[in-house]
Amino acid sequence: MSHRYCGRDFHAEEIAQIRQLIAEDPARTRAELSRLTCRRLAWYKADGGLKDMSARVAMLRMQADGFIELPPPRGPRPDPRVRLSARSDPGAPLNQSARALTPLTLQPVRQKA
């Protein structure tokens, strides 16, 4: 018998392997467990990376269904909201042409990891 989580069927033996990973080291974090689970079960994305976020969600659902017992989360989750401060306030408007602002460079904005 198998159970489907996050687009993947998990057989009883695989759920037992996840239980074993949890029991081997109770100090492991949920993030560590999701990465180890991906490696143990060869669960990879098309680009070769681990499907660790899918594994984390699947493991949370397995816990909700009573199949596994995850360690408690470590501390509070970070607040994803944007913090407004003087640094986020808009500066004075630029009332000049782009030519007057040379050398002008554009850089992509990336979210911090």
Q: Which two tokens stand for residue 84?
A: 């407004």
In a domain, 90, yes or no: no
Tens place of pLDDT per residue across the chain (113 aa): 899 999 999 999 999 999 999 999 989 999 999 999 999 999 999 999 999 999 999 999 999 999 999 999 987 877 778 788 888 888 888 888 888 888 888 888 877 65
Other beta carbons within 10 Å of 66: 7
If one counts the domains in the chain, the total is 1
- Token look-up 């060869």 returns 42
In a domain, 79, yes or no: no
In a domain, 96, yes or no: no
**Distance (Å, whole) CA 45 – CA 43:** 7
In a domain, 105, yes or no: no
Domain that holds residue 10: 2-64
Say which residues have a Cβ less than 8 Å from residue 68's Cβ, sequence separation at least 6: 15, 18, 19, 22, 59, 62
In a domain, 71, yes or no: no
The pLDDT, as a whole number, for residue 113 is 58
In a domain, 22, yes or no: yes
